[in-house]
Structures are given as structure tokens and as C-alpha cells.
């Protein structure tokens, strides 16, 4: 019984952590759309937005190239499938 409770608690904790990860859509001035796995951060010193890509590398985009940053809703089907 104790092991079952521990397993349930571990699954619940994992679900909460995964649910907190948010994705953002960054639209550039040339129309390119970049999807990030976390909110891009603005760095005043470099006047750029930085984020980590899927490989863990830090990417910087100059703020003058960014048109819009918006969160991607998990519940909307329109955000899950994008056609270019």
C-alpha cells in the first residue's frame, strides 16, 4: 500500500512539472515564426531576447527583429497544427 501511494505521488508530481512547461511563439519582422520551450528573456545589456533551443544552446535574437511574443495555448487545436 505504501509503495502504491509513493508511485501515485511521483506520477502526480511529474504531471505537475510537465504541465508547468510553457511554449511561446516568437514572430520575427520577416514573418519567420520560432517556437521556444520557455519564455524568452529580454537582456537590456545586449538589447536582445534569449531562449534555449531543443539542444540546450542559448539563442539570442535582437529585439529590433522581434515583432511579437505570445504563449501557445495547449488546449487550442489551431496552435497544435500550423500550416506554412
Asked if residues 67 and 29 have their Cβ atoms less than 8 Å apart, the reply is yes
Residue ranges per domain, the chain?
Answer: 18-73
pLDDT, one tens digit per residue, over 31-84 is 999 989 889 999 999 999 999 887 888 999 999 999 999 998 765 555 444 434
Can you name the CATH fold of 18-73? Answer: SH3 type barrels. (2.30.30)
pLDDT value, residue 49: 96
pLDDT score recorded for residue 53: 81
Q: Which residue has the cell 521556444?
A: 36
3-state SS of 28-83 is: ECCCCEEEECCCCEEECCCCEEEEECCCCCEEEEEHHHEEEEEECCCCCHHHHCCC
pTM above 0.95, yes or no: no
Amino acid at each position: 500500500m505504501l509503495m502504491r501511494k509513493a508511485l501515485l505521488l511521483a506520477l502526480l508530481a511529474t504531471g505537475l512539472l510537465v504541465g508547468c512547461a510553457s511554449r511561446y511563439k516568437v514572430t520575427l519582422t520577416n514573418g519567420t515564426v520560432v517556437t521556444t520551450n520557455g519564455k524568452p528573456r529580454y537582456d537590456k545589456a545586449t538589447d536582445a531576447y534569449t531562449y534555449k533551443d531543443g539542444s540546450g544552446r542559448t539563442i539570442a535574437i535582437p529585439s529590433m527583429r522581434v515583432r511579437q511574443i505570445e504563449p501557445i495555448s495547449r488546449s487550442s487545436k489551431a496552435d497544435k497544427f500550423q500550416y506554412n
